[in-house]
Amino acid sequence: MNKPPSKTDKKTDKNPATEEIIPGERLQKVMANAGLGSRRGLDKEIDAGHVSVNGKVAILGAKVNLRDKITYHENDWEVAAQSAPERTLIYNKPLGEITSRSDPQGRPTVFERLPKLENARWIAVGRLDINTTGLMLLTTDGELAHKMMHPSSKIDREYACRIHGEVSDEVMQTLRDGVELDDGPARFSDIQRAGHSGENYWFHVVIMEGRNREVRRLWASQGLEVSRLKRVRYGPVFLPSKLKRGMFTDITLRDHNLLREEVKLTARAHSINLKPIGTHSQAAKAKWQKKPGKKKTQPRAQRRFVSRRFK
């Protein structure tokens, strides 16, 4: 996961995770899932030579893969990925945005920059205050978001901090050992110097929880003020160096599943489906959409249905 996708978008609903390598599936299964008939009926159509794949007559038992072209009754389809039910983004939060969905003061929110979704909603995996920048994970996978934020999962977060004034080794050790804050004990599980410029000193710190303004409060307990704060890592996910502020990038299905495995959840999978190519003629459509005529039947006496109790 250290090598995030190179392509970024500002606002799109395309999901690059669907570019993952997906195992092929049997031709009749894919066609049946697309509503082109029953598997048994499509077996007969394939056996009769009415279906071709990439310009060649298909045979029974053939498998199709992404971007294969299927022709059936003069209509064409492309084999495409059917998105998994969840999607996860890496977002580089700029200064001045809040992580609430709306704000009475009219301040911009991170959700305004994200792609619109149908029948789903973005969930922020952890929050960043208005003055903190950097990595945010946003997902439609509520199960993943809950597990990653829960303290029992022990997912660490790494921040780059700029501190005004010198910091002694004794202060650094105190912050490693832990201090008492208003809401209980807190500590940096790791703290490392990362250079300085004039009176400003940079540090990389790691915490195991996501309490409100915890990093700033830890430094404040030692009489030190954080002048800049940026999250650079959340668990195994690093902020991509090429991802500009205010931009996002999708993570792949493989990386999404790595996150799920990190918190002991089962992996998700993609399947494939058919996407129509061009305009399908009504005459050709009628051949595979034709339904058997209804037989005329004599009126039946009304029956009273009683719900069956399950044992």
Report the CATH number that the domain containing residue 56 is assigned in CATH.
3.10.290.10
Domain residue limits at 74? 16-84+270-284
Q: Are residues 73 and 111 in the same domain?
A: no
Tokens found for residue 6: 């190179």
Per-chain mean pLDDT for the chain:
83
Known catalytic residue: 129? yes
**Which residue matches tokens 């703290």?**
191
Strands 133-139 and 226-234: parallel
- The separation between CA 252 and the C-alpha centre of its own chain, rounded to angstroms, equals 8
- Residue 24: the pLDDT is 79
- Please determine, for residue 116, whether its predicted confidence score (pLDDT) is greater than 80: yes
For residue 158, what are the β-bridge partners? 206, 233
User: Which H or E run includes 257?
Assistant: helix 253-262
User: What secondary structure does DSSP assign to 89-155, as a single string?
Assistant: EEEEEPTT-BSSS--TT---BGGGGSPP-SS---EEES---TT-EEEEEEES-HHHHHHHHSGGG--
Across the range 38-62, mean pLDDT stands at 92
Residue % of the chain over a pLDDT of 90: 52
Q: Are residues 61 and 124 in the same domain?
A: no
What single-letter DSSP state applies at residue 265? -
- Residue 286: the pLDDT is 58
Dist CA 256 CA 269 (whole Å): 10
- Please determine, for residue 15, whether its predicted confidence score (pLDDT) is greater than 60: no
Given 47, 103, 129, 183, the catalytic residue: 129
292 in any annotated domain: no
pLDDT tens digits, 276-304: 887 776 555 555 555 444 444 444 343 33
Q: Are residues 274 and 257 in the same domain?
A: no
Task: With beta carbons less than 8 A apart as the criterion, state whether 69 and 54 touch.
Answer: yes
What single-letter DSSP state applies at residue 24? -
Q: Are residues 167 and 252 in the same domain?
A: yes
Q: Side chain identity at 61, as an amino acid letter?
A: G
For residue 124, what are the β-bridge partners? 138
**Which residue matches tokens 């004039």?**
198
Angle at 197 between CA 194 and CA 199, to 5 degrees: 105
Q: Are residues 154 and 130 in the same domain?
A: yes
- Region of 136 please: left (phi>0), alpha (psi -120 to 50) or beta: beta
Q: Are residues 236 and 170 in the same domain?
A: yes
Residue % of the chain over a pLDDT of 70: 80
Task: With beta carbons less than 8 A apart as the criterion, state whether 96 and 139 touch.
Answer: no
297 in any annotated domain: no
- Measured between alpha carbons, how far is residue 237 from residues 1, 64, 216, 217, 251 in Å? 6, 33, 22, 24, 10
Q: Side chain identity at 170, as an amino acid letter?
A: E
- Please determine, for residue 8, whether its predicted confidence score (pLDDT) is greater than 60: no
Q: Are residues 80 and 92 in the same domain?
A: no
74 in any annotated domain: yes
- Residue 281: the pLDDT is 60
* Number of domains, the chain: 2
Tokens found for residue 169: 């080794």
- Please determine, for residue 122, whether its predicted confidence score (pLDDT) is greater than 70: yes
Q: Are residues 30 and 124 in the same domain?
A: no
- Residue 242: the pLDDT is 94
Across the range 118-125, mean pLDDT stands at 86
What pTM was computed for the model? 0.65
- Per mean pLDDT, which range of 196-200, 209-213, 269-273 is the poorest? 269-273
Across the range 148-167, mean pLDDT stands at 92
116 in any annotated domain: yes
Q: Are residues 237 and 179 in the same domain?
A: yes
- Residue 169: the pLDDT is 95
197 in any annotated domain: yes
pLDDT tens digits, 174-201: 999 999 999 999 999 999 999 988 889 9
For 26, the 3-state DSSP assignment is strand
242 in any annotated domain: yes
Report the CATH number that the domain containing residue 221 is assigned in CATH.
3.30.2350.10
Nearby residues of 157 by Cβ (< 8 Å), 6 or more positions away: 126, 206, 207, 208, 210, 231, 233, 234, 235
Q: Are residues 60 and 145 in the same domain?
A: no
pLDDT interval class at 35 (50, 70, 90): confident
213 in any annotated domain: yes
Q: Are residues 37 and 99 in the same domain?
A: no
Q: Are residues 46 and 132 in the same domain?
A: no
Torsion sign over Cα 104, 107, 109, 113:
positive
99 in any annotated domain: yes
Give me the phi and psi of 244, to 5 degrees please: -75, 160
- Residue 10: the pLDDT is 41
